[in-house]
């Protein structure tokens, strides 16, 4: 892998990361509704989802992925169901004007947060298209060394975490504009609706 190939891949991938889609909608909705609480686990699902698609594409395992399609469908529906649960929590949880407070009745499993975004990523047409069609056009996967794969893995993890956290941080800071109980209820319901829409789109993919 040459330096020019690497730079082109990095730029193209980062643009793909920050392009609007179901993933960004989920990140923004989550940050507006809950701030950065649990966000590392939420973002980790996207990271490992993209790394899974990268490994499948690089190893030429498309046939294997197709064989396990029923399992992936179950995972996708499970992730969609959890996003619906999060949306329901945003609609029904008590409103607090303390932006640093979290509702103990709405405790969230880090593992469930991770799986919800992991399943969203591996079923996201935008991500699948990038790794299945665009990646081979950017890099000759048959000539990559182990060192190249290591560098690309670190790059993917860095680019997606950076891109998503930029959006998450901006959305979380925007919460200060909604300090009254009425405004907080409205933003919770809007973000809950956004998550529900993402879940429906995810289940329909």
pLDDT tens by residue, 67-125: 555 655 666 676 677 667 767 766 776 555 444 444 444 556 888 889 888 888 887 77
pLDDT tens by residue, 190-199: 666 766 776 7
pTM of the model: 0.68
CA-nearest of 133, 135, 111, 131 to 121 is: 131
In the chain the first and final C-alpha atoms are separated, in Å, by 34
- pLDDT value of position 105: 42
Rounded to an integer, what distance in angstroms lies between the CA atom of residue 48 and that of residue 2? 25
Kindly list the distances between the CA atom of residue 80 and the CA atoms of 116, 119, 145, 181, 205, in Å, as whole numbers in the listed order: 7, 8, 37, 29, 11
Rounded to an integer, what distance in angstroms lies between the CA atom of residue 77 and that of residue 18? 25
Q: Assign residue 88 a region: left if phi > 0, alpha if psi is -120 to 50, beta otherwise? A: alpha
CA-nearest of 49, 84, 26 to 200 is: 84
């Amino acid at each position: 892998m040459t330096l020019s190939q690497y730079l082109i891949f990095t730029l193209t991938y980062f643009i793909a990361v920050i392009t609007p889609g179901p993933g960004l909608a989920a990140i923004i909705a989550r940050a507006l509704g809950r701030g950065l609480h649990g966000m590392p686990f939420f973002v980790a699902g996207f990271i490992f989802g993209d790394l899974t698609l990268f490994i499948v594409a690089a190893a030429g395992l498309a046939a294997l992925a197709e064989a396990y399609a029923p399992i992936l469908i179950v995972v996708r529906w499970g992730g969609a169901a959890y996003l619906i649960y999060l949306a329901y929590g945003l609609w029904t949880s008590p409103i607090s004007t303390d932006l640093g407070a979290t509702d103990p009745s709405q405790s969230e499993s880090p593992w469930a947060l991770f799986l919800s975004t992991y399943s969203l990523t591996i079923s996201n047409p935008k991500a699948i298209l990038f790794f299945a069609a665009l990646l081979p056009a950017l890099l000759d996967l048959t000539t990559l060394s182990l060192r190249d794969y290591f560098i690309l893995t670190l790059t993917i993890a860095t680019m997606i975490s950076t891109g998503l956290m930029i959006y998450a941080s901006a959305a979380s800071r925007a919460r200060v504009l909604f300090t009254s109980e009425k405004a907080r209820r409205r933003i919770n319901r809007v973000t809950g609706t956004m998550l529900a829409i993402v879940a429906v789109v995810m289940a329909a993919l």
